[in-house]
Amino acid sequence: MKALIVANWKMQPATFREARALFDATKKAADAARGVQVIVAPPAIFLRELSKGYRGRITFAVQNAHSATDTAHTGEISFAQARDARATYALVGHAERRHPPTGGGEIDEEVRKKVAAALAADIIPILCVGEVERTGSGEHFNFVKEQLRVGLKDVSPSNLKRVIITYEPLWTIGQPRPMDAREMHEMAIFIRKSIVESYGQAGMDIKILYGGSINEATAPDMLKNGDVKGLLVGRASADGSHVTRLLASIANA
């Protein structure tokens, strides 16, 4: 496999008709991109209808779910409900949920509970970590290490292989270019080292993705030199022509 690509559509498109058209374009692009595994994370309201009857190469993720299993959570969905709608993966702790513009985002303890709840529902958590900003002091390493420590706290050694880590520094999201691939390589080494401290050599096999302002021009270099197994793609994945070019650039690299 050349790469694992997670297409996070965020809160778009506006209608199911548009969602179906985007999914059809993504399916066509994924079928043509040999060696590229694609996961689509649509808005939850579209998940069941898009997955219904589909038996192709694409798998599905839920963008968010609640960690609780009781019913008193108006407006939320559970990981069990997401699994029933054919979600195989779940984004957990995405930067836009940890640090929303209005404040009051998810804290590390909430993320920990969601990782555990996803695994309990037989869903693979894609645990997102990353600092808000860099000051040059190296403090961002400690920030990421603490997110990993808490987020993986309830993950047993046998379940570690079912977890995917995505590094998505908030300061890169929505920017013209991603961080330098050499910086990502350094962070990937640090992430593995941090996990090895808790899990031993099993931590060396953890899948690491990069997320943050990635497109067809920058993806091949990040995959080649960033020491990552794939990419979490936001903006570029919600446009059929963009996702077609992105997957082609990776498959042809």
HEC assignment per residue over 66-108 = ECCCCCCCCCCCEHHHHHHCCCCEEEECCHHHHCCCCCCCCCH
Domain that holds residue 43: 3-251
Which among 18, 73, 94, 185 is annotated as catalytic? 94
Counted domains in the chain = 1
pLDDT at 176: 73
Return the number of other C-beta atoms located less than 10 Å from residue 221's C-beta.
Answer: 15
Q: Residue 200 is which amino acid?
A: G
Which among 96, 106, 131, 168 is annotated as catalytic? 168
* pLDDT per position as a tens digit, 38-95: 999 999 999 999 999 999 999 999 999 999 998 899 999 999 999 999 999 999 999 9
CA 253/CA 249 separation, integer angstroms: 6
- Residue 229, SS3? coil
Q: State yes or no: cis peptide before 42, omega within 30 of 0.
A: no
**pLDDT, greater one: 126 or 135:** 126
pLDDT at 111: 98
Chain CA centroid to CA 95, Å: 10
CA 204/CA 224 separation, integer angstroms: 18
CA 209/CA 223 separation, integer angstroms: 9
Return the number of other C-beta atoms located less than 10 Å from residue 217's C-beta.
Answer: 11
* pLDDT per position as a tens digit, 165-214: 999 998 888 777 778 999 999 999 999 999 999 999 999 999 999 998 89
Residue whose C-alpha is closest to residue 172's, from 243, 107, 102, 235: 235
Band the pLDDT of 101: cuts 50, 70, 90. confident
pLDDT at 207: 98
Q: Is 94 known to be catalytic? A: yes
CA 222/CA 49 separation, integer angstroms: 33
pLDDT at 184: 97
Chain CA centroid to CA 174, Å: 16
pLDDT at 171: 87
Q: Could you give the percent of the chain with pLDDT greater than 70? A: 100
pTM: 0.96
Asked whether the predicted pLDDT for residue 2 surpasses 90, the reply is: no
Q: Is 168 known to be catalytic? A: yes
CATH code of the domain containing 204: 3.20.20.70
Average pLDDT over residues 147-152: 98
